[in-house]
Amino acid sequence: MHGDGTSIVDKKVRKNLGRYLFQCALATFTILAVLLFFDVLKETALIASLGASAFVIFTMPTTYSSDPQRLLGGYTVGLAVGLLFYFFSTIADINLLFITETMSLIVFGALSVGMAIFIMTVTNTEHAPAAGITLGLVINNWTHMTIIFIVSAVLWLALIRRMLRPYLMDLISPTK
């Protein structure tokens, strides 16, 4: 017990243990499918973003952030902005000799996240993990297959959420 009388264990667990296990298993198997196709050692920043999206979708399926518009739109923005700033960083490396490659990645990585957040909030496509994809595209090595796979993985997450939405509940307790 905490000082305010709340328990460390969510009160809903005892009553809904099966749903907790089911939804966490769904997240596990969904990410397993993603990891089987991704090069997990080279693209960790990109994989981490998809893991965070699985958390949002399978633990908070009724929330704003797990809505397909936010998931698909957020990743669309994240991919577009990440690709744009990746190309900006490569041009900066070639044309501005006073900027080191590391400094270019840092500056354009930060700019890409800020721009993605701005565009997501303006277009009602807020999905926090998609900002991670933006940063991952700027600072990590990737190929066109990486982009295709990210799109496929996000579509897979959205499809599973849509098909199983009637059977999913929010596992996260609201704050007071």
**Tens digit of pLDDT for each residue in 76-97?**
999 999 999 999 888 765 555 5
Contact (CB, 8 A) for 133 and 150 = yes
Q: Report the C-alpha gap between 122 and 102 in whole angstroms.
A: 30
**Tens digit of pLDDT for each residue in 152-172?**
889 989 998 999 889 999 988
Indicate the DSSP class of residue 42: T
Both tokens of residue 73? 């739109």
Long-range contacts of 41-44 (CB under 8 A, 24+ apart): 42/140, 42/141, 43/136, 43/140, 43/142, 43/146, 44/140
Q: Report the C-alpha gap between 139 and 25 in whole angstroms.
A: 31
Q: Report the C-alpha gap between 147 and 144 in whole angstroms.
A: 5
Q: Report the C-alpha gap between 46 and 64 in whole angstroms.
A: 22
Q: Which residues, given as ranges, of the chain have pLDDT below 70?
A: 1-6, 38-46, 92-99, 173-176
Report the Cα 149 to chain-centroid distance in Å.
14
Q: What is the pLDDT of residue 91?
A: 79
Q: What is the pLDDT of residue 137?
A: 92
Q: What is the pLDDT of residue 8?
A: 79
